[in-house]
Amino acid sequence: MQVISFVALAAGLIIGLGAIGACIGIGIMGSKYLESAARQPELMNELQTKMFLLAGLIDAAFIIGTGIALWFATANPFLAQIANLPK
């Protein structure tokens, strides 16, 4: 069935693009943290706390996207509705 292949393609795109976005985001954030810590070393502890908080949020967004993609790949609620469409 064609619909199942589209679901697999969409799940792969969600996971792949989410991973790329999370990696780029954490890389940019880490470089900006090092840059700002080098400019003002007295703020390093505050900046480090904020950086780890944002790293957790970026990773959480990727993990939620991965969970949704895997849910659609294994138990897609839309496939039953597509199967019941009149032909």
Residues acting as catalytic residues: 59
**C-alpha span between 80 and 74 (Å, rounded):** 13
Which pair of tokens denotes residue 52? 């780890």
Q: How buried is 11 (Cβ within 10 angstroms: 0-12 exposed, 13-18 middle, 19+ buried)? A: buried
